[in-house]
Structure 1
C-alpha cells in the first residue's frame, strides 16, 4: 500500500508517536510499500511554525528535507495538475492544505493517512484507526 501522510501524522511521527494508533504506527514503521510526504506539508508546517502554532517544529525547518529522507519517506512535489484538481473540487471544505493533499492522494493513487474527518468530503482513499471497514481492516473510501 502506498501511503501519503497528512501533515499532523508526520508531525506526530516526529514528535510523539503515541498519538498514532498502533496500526498506523506499524504501517509507517514498516514502510508499507512506500510512504510519501507532500511538499504541501512543508508549506503547512513552515506557515504554522511562523505563526507560532507549531513552535516545537522550528528545529525541523532547517533540516526538513533531511528529516523526511532520514525516515525513508519519499517527497511528493506539487504539480499544476494537482493544483487544478484541488481547485476544482466541489467540496465545501476550504482548507487549501487539505484540498491539495486530497488531490495528490486521488491523482497519484495514494492512501491518505489522516485523522481528519474533513477528508470524507473528497474522493480520495483514506486510512485511520477507525472505522475499520475494508477487508484489511484499515482503509475506507471517503
Structure 2
C-alpha cells in the first residue's frame, strides 16, 4: 500500500504517542508499504512551532526531516496537479493544509492515515480504519 501520513499521525509516530493505534503503527512499520509525508505537513509543523503550539527537541527544519528519514518515510512535494485537484474537492472542510493533503492523496492514489473526521468525511478519500 502507498500511505500518506496526516500531520498528527507523523507527530504521534515520532513521539511514540499512545494515541497512535496499533493498526496504524503496524501499517506504517510494514516494509511492504510505501510511506509518504507531504511537505505540507512540514510546513504546518513549522507554523505551529513558530506560534508556540508545538515544540521539538531541535529546530523543526532539522528535526522533522531527520525523523522522516529515520522512519523511512518519503517526502511528497506539492506540484501543480495537486493544486489543480483542489478545484474538484467539495467544500466539506476549510483547513487549507488538510485540503491539500486530500488533494495529494487523490492525485497519487494514496491511502490516508488519519484520525481527522473532517478528512474522513470526504467520500472519495481512501483511508485505513484505526481499530
Q: TM-score, normalised by structure 2?
A: 0.89
More relative contact order in 1 or in 2 (CA 8 Å, sep 6+)? 2
Runs of 4+ in 1 over 3 A off after TM superposition: none
Aligned to 2:107: 107
Q: 1:5–1:94: structure 2 CA closer, same or farther, 3 Å change rule?
A: same
CA RMSD of aligned residues (A): 1.6
* SS in structure 2 of the partner of residue 127 of structure 1: coil
Aligned length: 129
Aligned to 2:58: 59
Aligned to 1:128: 129
Aligned pairs (5 A) from 1:4-83: 4-55=4-55, 57=56, 59=58, 61=60, 62-83=62-83
Is the 8 Å Cα contact of residues 2 and 32 (structure 1) preserved in structure 2?
Answer: no
- Residue 127 of structure 1, CA deviation: 1.6
Find the aligned partners of 1:58 and 1:46 in 2 and give their Cα distance. Answer: 13
* SS in structure 2 of the partner of residue 75 of structure 1: strand
* SS in structure 2 of the partner of residue 115 of structure 1: coil
Find the aligned partners of 1:22 and 1:74 in 2 and give their Cα distance. Answer: 21
Find the aligned partners of 2:117 and 2:32 in 1 and give their Cα distance. Answer: 23
